[in-house]
Amino acid sequence: MNTYKETRGILLMLYSEVELSEEKKLTFYNEYIYKIRKLAYSGNTDAQYDLAQHYEDIGFLGDPNPCFNNSKRFYWYLKAAKNNNGAAYNNLADLTERGDGCEMDLNKALDYYKKSMELGDALGKKNYKKMLRDLNKGGIYNAL
């Protein structure tokens, strides 16, 4: 069975090989997604996070993502977060804070940011402090 690192190497190669035809790129990407999905279902936290990223609304190069899926994105971030992935908690917090693909819940978002921070995620720490500051001052949440 391929490891996460080996599987991730497929994606890295895909974006570093500018000489590949579009057909070959698609073949490599489909192989990557197949293997990441398999690892994600087997409980690999990094693969769960990557699979959630696969379902984001914006793709790797900033283009709209044809694979965008709100419910799958949320599901895989939640799976990764439950396996103590700090970045997944940060992304869940962002979605929950905005009500993007889920019900808006500022208390839950703050809890997710806090958990992200506790797990050592630098962006989670920054977002937790920012949200606390905004909540205490009223900030952007006054209009809600």
**pLDDT per residue over 7-59, tens digit each?**
888 877 777 766 878 788 788 888 889 999 999 999 999 999 999 999 988 76
What does the pLDDT average to over 73-99?
97
Q: What is this structure's pTM?
A: 0.86
Q: Mean pLDDT for the chain?
A: 88
Query: What does the DSSP 8-state code read for residue 142?
Result: G
- Output 64 or 74, whichever has higher pLDDT: 74
Per-residue model confidence (pLDDT) at position 136:
85
Residue type, 110: L
For the chain, state the CA radius of gyration: 17
pLDDT score, position 52: 95
Q: Tell me the mean pLDDT in the region 50-78.
A: 86
Runs of H (alpha helix) within 17-143: 22-41, 45-54, 70-82, 86-98, 106-118, 122-137
CA 111 to chain CA centroid, Å, is 17
What domains appear along the chain, each with residue ranges and CATH number? 4-137 (1.25.40.10)
Query: How confident is the model at residue 122, as a pLDDT?
Result: 98
